[in-house]
Copies of this chain bind each other. A is one copy, B any other.
Amino acid sequence: MSEEDALRFLAGRFKATQKEVLTGIGDDSAVLELRDKTCLVASTDTLVEGVHFRLETQTPSQLGKKAVCVALSDIGAMGAVPRYLLCSLGCRSAGSMEFIEDLSQGVEDGCREFEVCLVGGNLSESQTVFISMTALGEVSRDNVVLRSGAAEGDDIYVTGTLGDSALGLRILSGGLGVGGCEGFVSRHIEPTPRLEVGRMVAERGVASSMIDVSDGLFRDLEKLTSEHGLGAEVSLADLPLSPGFLSLSGRLSEDAYRLAVSGGEDYELLFTSSAGNRAVVEDVSRLCGVAVSKIGSVTGGGRVKFFDEGGGEIFYDTGGFEHFC
């Protein structure tokens, strides 16, 4: 495969059809016509072989789709609507055309599912496989939700369930059979960016701060609270856990709550909202068909604290996302 052949393949595959993409893949840069009075949001994220994935446990197609989802999750966490992606791929030259085709399938699936357009790309030879995605999205200036903005007394919400991805990674890494555990493994391999919830809480102005949970609830909640002179109290009993999560964690001798609190790569949305917004948050949850759970409150200062059902504080280290290596 020459780089030219691969680029030609990609240009054909990702031919932009939207009229606002004046030029997509194939020129020096993509040319995009944005609507007036909107802000552009831009984010970049990279998955690296041996650190974020292993090719033994993940197909190139799954990897491509995950790279899309992870990049879009950051856009969703601003309350923005993702529009465009640019992808830089590094891969070994041996057998790479098949690899690129398979990976492209996953990228294409992700683009179709989330209605975004790949408008730029770059291919390089690299001994370490990596896929770097830059996502661009739009949001009206009034709706953008930052990591700062939480206030003392705000409720703390999280979408979906926590810990599944970390448990799925343990199953994959342990070389265990995945029979009966497919749901957890797929949460790790194919995370879902919570774009609709993010957009809707932003449009309705109910999120005072928001982040996507990539480094684990503990560390990401610190970014919303203690990094801004606030604290947080979270009740472990209120953490949303999948059916079977506790029992499977126990069977694998894993501390279930540690996985849920600091396992990372959940790609759920974590946001704060004043208590007066509870009915609106419930509406958003219902309209999106996504569970949104109140897990605690923002405090005036101090650490992020976790309490068990008896009211005793449980201490976790801030390990957060654990790399493969």
Stretch in A36-44, A245-253, A290-298 touching the partner: A36-44
On whether A127 and B124 interact (CB within 8 A), knowing A28-B147, A34-B34, the answer reads: no
Stretch in A48-56, A163-171, A183-191 touching the partner: A48-56
One complex includes copies of this chain to the number of 2
On whether A130 and B90 interact (CB within 8 A), knowing A22-B39, A141-B22, the answer reads: yes
A121 to B80, CA, bound (A): 19
> Of B34, B75, B90, B128, which one neighbours A29 at CB under 8 angstroms?
B75
On whether A120 and B42 interact (CB within 8 A), knowing A22-B141, A29-B80, the answer reads: yes
A136: interface (CB < 8 Å): yes
Residues of B within 8 A of A37 (CB): 36
A230: interface (CB < 8 Å): no
A212 to B170, CA, bound (A): 47
A181: interface (CB < 8 Å): no
Contact B120 A48, beta carbon cutoff 8 Å? no
A323: interface (CB < 8 Å): yes
On whether A325 and B43 interact (CB within 8 A), knowing A78-B31, A132-B132, the answer reads: no
Complex A-B: 28 CB contacts under 8 Å: A22-B141, A22-B144, A23-B146, A27-B146, A28-B75, A28-B78, A30-B43, A31-B146, A33-B39, A33-B40, A34-B40, A42-B84, A42-B119, A42-B136, A44-B86, A44-B88, A44-B120, A44-B121, A46-B88, A46-B132, A48-B90, A48-B126, A50-B127, A88-B134, A90-B128, A90-B130, A122-B132, A127-B128
Query: Which residues of A line the B interface, CB within 8 A?
Result: 22-23, 26-34, 36-37, 39-46, 48, 50-52, 73-75, 77-78, 80, 84, 86-88, 90, 119-122, 124-128, 130, 132, 134-137, 139, 141, 144, 146-147, 211-212, 323, 325
